[in-house]
Chains A and B, each alone.
Chain A
Amino acid sequence: MMHTFKINYWFLSSLFISCFVCIPLIVIGISLFQDVSGYYQLLGETYVYTYIANTLLVLTGVLVLTFIFGVGAAYLTSFYQFPGSTFFTWALILSFAVPSYIYAYSLTAFFGYFGNLYSFLNYLFGPSDYHTLIPKVDGLLGSILSMSFSLFIYVYLITRASFIYQSQNLVDAGKIMGFSNYQTFKKIIFPSARPGIVVGLSLVAMESISDFGTVSFFNIQTLTTAIYDSWIIFDDIATAYQLSFFLIVIVLIFFWLERMSRSRSKFYMPTRGYEAINKIQLQGTSAAYATTFCLLLFTCSFLFPISQILLWVIQFPDNIHLAQLIELSVNTVSIVILTTLCLIVLAFFTNYGMRISKSKFLNAVTNFSVSGYVIPGVILAVTLLSFLSFVSKLANSNWIHFLFSGSIIGLVIAYCVRFYSLAINGIKSGYEKLNTNLDDASYLLGYTKFGTFIKIHLPFLQPNLLLIAMLVAIDILKELPITLILRPFNFETFATQAYTFASQDMLEHAAGPSLFLIIFSAIFILLSKKYILKGF
């Protein structure tokens, strides 16, 4: 090989960034070789199997429900026209504005002792013992419902994209073969959308396995809570790391599944467009079923939680401190914007580096680093803290530590590590639609690599960019454990404020911040709904 060796700056900087993100994983890997304390024995004796069982139960429940909700809604809105279909197509996305733990709070608000349902029945039918009537929606059921309603959106969007890109041809092929609508779906459309569906479900799985806020609120002991407990309560960081390792292994299975399916469904978009599907108009009972399904889903996943929060706000207006909420807003919005900018820049850098250098090594490192997405936020924060302490001890400098811990910068870095995956993959999927031929064409017209980036990539990726920015922003808005641990003095976000109240049994006080969180998320969603629907 006589390729002249030029220092590829893109490659190096991308490599550096990706390595940085791998740190939590490496720390945990190292700890694997440390001793286990009595906690582990305790676990073995009593409840470890319950933890695993609970984790799997929650996971299974969530996967089943998100599949039904997501694929069902995607199917209906992609192929059919029925009353409200245009509205529901984007309205369903609003459920993404409600984090799982806030959904949990609203379930408690409604179904809890002397909750809103009780008051409602009381109001309608007079006092009575409704407690036996009202179902208890907490624990496993509550966790599953909360997570399903807030996560199904992943399956919905990705499945929808798979359906749409298949274009009219498949539908026509089915007609020619004489299939009914249902048969066409079952035999042609569904199989080819399957990789996409698996991608969506894998994402859901990863999210739900690493959830902490919801399960701890409902007192369900899962692997994640066990990790938290062993670290926090039993002071056994080694076990915490080890359990994290197992958790990551489980997650990597889903992650691998997602990669496999993603590559199977990957195709270089031709530089021409695709043909949009001709939607079938539904009539009569079918239309009624379709509308009802979507309406129920929308009500449950968005209207319900927001109504509970609003009821709280109305019932307990004293809990709303406007000045505090404004301060929260300023804090939250600034950190969101700052981090989003950083992440976008990082993601572009890495993707461009991968695109230019075509290095398998860089690809592997990047892929490895993105699974850090699933480390419980708590562990992530701690590993970063440990690493920073280690580094600053080495450098014998207070300054480094001071800069990163308990500061906005440290928080931003932690967010970047956590959401690196989302940003990278989001931009990457945009790049995948851009044929590398076009890069060549641009070079041959005399444009430098940077020029190509500015004039060809950026404009083309703009919808993607906006979409990813919005998604990252919303994720940071909702983020809880990392913010709780690493935030600087006098700094609260909507999420931390709501959580602190909820965990101190002052749920009604959580209404204000929760409401604002949902509103801001909803605003971000609405601003980018066009891109969300197209770009996923």
Chain B
Amino acid sequence: MLKKIILLLTIALNAASAHAAEVNVFTARHYSSDVELYAKFTKQTGIKVNVISGDAKALEKRIVTEGTRSQADVFIDVDAGNLGAAQHKGIFQKISSPLLIEKIPAHLRTDYWYGISKRARIIFYNPEKISETIAKQLNYEDLASTNYKGKIVIRSSSSTYNKSWVASLIENNGTEQTTSWAKALVQNMAREPEGNDRDQILAVAVDKADIAIANSYYLALMLSGQKGPEQQAAAKKVKIVFPNQNNRGTHMNISGAGVTAYAPNKEHAIRFIEFLLSTEAQQHIVNTTFEYPIIDQVMPNTIMAAFGTSFKQDTTSVATYYNNQAQALAIMKKAGWR
């Protein structure tokens, strides 16, 4: 009996809302502040935003399994490799939006998905152990140097950030070189990979290692005090450097969004993504996540900005990350990178 009532209610509710303008967003980003962002969108356009956030892969799985019946309009994920994988599964559809093409640099988008924020994978180091002059010259490739034996910490090979990063190295340096580089890096590790990016930074802060590789926004996160006073103090102890300034530039990655293949509300979806590239939205994003903005009109959050905004950024197309990810993982695993 109860089930019947629920059934009727569900139908009624869905029937009712089918007429209202809405867009269904599947997102792997989860910040409570995003709710405010969506509210802004609704206010501007009258389109209601329905959000389902969760594990990226699980969301992908659901979209793929549901196929033509999927209710998803927009899919947002972090890491270009993930987005490439999603595209490969047929999750996205090609859209044409002059606005997006204009606002987003070519190497940060594809026809299927579009970067909405940037992050750099940078080196964190202990200034008491490594001089600033040396640090500033560091390239990713130098991490294989025997000078750093037992001094490097980095997270597990299964991390999608690492996979994209190594994929980019393969793209730029070739398989053979990257293979030997990976082996050497593993020899240099201070411990078996454990924990996430922030744990690597903290390890340097407590002198367990000299060098950590992690994403840029973590520093700001810790410095902001959101993780507590102790982590704030620890963050002050480490310094950062944007590697590869003398050659191609620092490895960049994106959070991106795309319109799903069977989106029921395609037009709304495009408008939503375009909104994410608006000044308002970009400002909101950089201040909540400490990522870098895609558009030039917006400055990164002050904490990040303090470290420099005009560092050289690798313009390797993020579209290539996915292509090389499988091999990247194989190389890492074979090198013994846990």
Contacts and interface: CB of A to CB of B under 8 A. Distances in A.
A and B directly contacting (CB within 8 A): yes
Interface of A: 42, 46-47, 113-114, 118-119, 122, 129, 131, 138-139, 219, 229, 231-233, 235, 315-316, 321, 324, 338, 341-342, 378, 382, 385-386, 389, 392, 398, 401-403, 405-409, 484-491, 496, 500-501, 503-505, 508-509
Contacts of B30: 500-501, 504
B58 A485 contact: yes
Contacts of A409: 3, 6-7, 10
B174 interface: no
A508 B71 contact: no
Contacts of A119: 228, 230
Contacts of B234: 113-114
Interface string B3-22: 10011001100100000000
Nearest to B155: A219
B333 to A, nearest CB: 6
Contact of B195 (A114, A219, A316): A219
A412 B14 CA distance: 18
Interface string B132-162: 0000000000000000000000001010000
* Cβ-closest 4 pairs across A and B: A232-B57, A114-B230, A489-B50, A113-B202
Nearest to B69: A401
B194 A139 contact: yes
Contacts of B62: 385, 405-406, 485-486
A47 B71 CA distance: 38
A322 B196 CA distance: 29
Given A114-B230, A118-B230, A485-B58, A490 B51 contact: yes
A408 B195 CA distance: 35
Given A42-B333, A501-B30, A219 B202 contact: no
Contacts of B61: 231-232, 382, 485
25 contacts: A114-B202, A138-B195, A231-B61, A235-B85, A316-B226, A338-B6, A341-B2, A389-B69, A398-B69, A401-B66, A402-B14, A405-B69, A406-B52, A406-B62, A407-B10, A485-B61, A489-B24, A489-B51, A489-B52, A490-B52, A496-B54, A500-B53, A501-B30, A508-B226, A509-B32
Contacts of B71: 406, 489
Contacts of A503: 55
B199 interface: yes
Interface in B22-61: 24, 29-30, 32, 50-55, 57-58, 61
A174 to B, nearest CB: 51
B202 to A, nearest CB: 4
- Among B10, B55, B66, B206, the one with the most A-chain Cβ atoms within 10 Å of its Cβ is B55
B203 to A, nearest CB: 8
A113 B66 contact: no
Contacts, number: 117
B12 to A, nearest CB: 13
B231 interface: yes
A139 to B, nearest CB: 7
A233 B58 contact: no
B158 A408 contact: no
Given A408-B6, A500-B30, A508-B227, A389 B53 contact: no
A434 B160 CA distance: 57
Contacts of B194: 138-139, 219
Nearest to A233: B57
B251 interface: no
B52 A488 contact: yes
A231 B64 CA distance: 12
Given A231-B61, A496-B54, A505 B198 contact: yes
Nearest to A321: B32
A324 B32 contact: yes
A509 B226 CA distance: 10
A508 B330 CA distance: 35
- Among B195, B198, B226, the one with the most A-chain Cβ atoms within 10 Å of its Cβ is B195
Contacts of B50: 489-490
Contacts of A378: 58
B236 interface: no
A65 to B, nearest CB: 23
Contacts of A315: 228
- Among A47, A231, A232, the one with the most B-chain Cβ atoms within 10 Å of its Cβ is A232
A484 B69 contact: no
Contacts of A338: 2, 6
Given A233-B158, A485-B62, A500 B54 contact: yes
A294 B7 CA distance: 48
Interface string B293-333: 00000000000000000000000000000000000001001
B89 interface: yes
A419 B85 CA distance: 34
Contacts of B197: 505
A342 B3 contact: yes
A534 to B, nearest CB: 29
A386 B230 CA distance: 47
Given A232-B58, A500-B54, A389 B65 contact: yes
A484 B54 contact: yes
Interface string B100-127: 0000000000000000000000000000
A138 B24 CA distance: 38
Nearest to B29: A504
Given A114-B234, A219-B195, A500-B30, A129 B206 contact: yes
- Among A129, A406, A408, the one with the most B-chain Cβ atoms within 10 Å of its Cβ is A406
A385 B206 CA distance: 47
Nearest to B52: A489
A97 B111 CA distance: 48
Contacts of B330: 42
A114 B228 contact: yes
Given A232-B58, A232-B61, A389-B66, A122 B230 contact: yes
Contacts of A139: 194
B236 to A, nearest CB: 13
Nearest to A231: B61
Contact of A235 (B51, B89, B196, B231): B89
Contacts of B333: 42, 46-47
A138 B330 CA distance: 27
Contact of A382 (B7, B65, B158): B65
Contacts of A122: 230
A46 B57 CA distance: 23
B183 to A, nearest CB: 15
Nearest to B156: A219
Interface string B62-94: 100111010100000000000001000100000
A405 B52 CA distance: 13
- Among A382, A484, A508, the one with the most B-chain Cβ atoms within 10 Å of its Cβ is A484
Given A233-B57, A488-B52, 15 more contacts: A42-B333, A114-B234, A232-B58, A321-B32, A338-B6, A385-B66, A386-B65, A389-B67, A403-B10, A405-B66, A406-B66, A409-B10, A489-B50, A504-B29, A508-B228
Contacts of B227: 114, 508
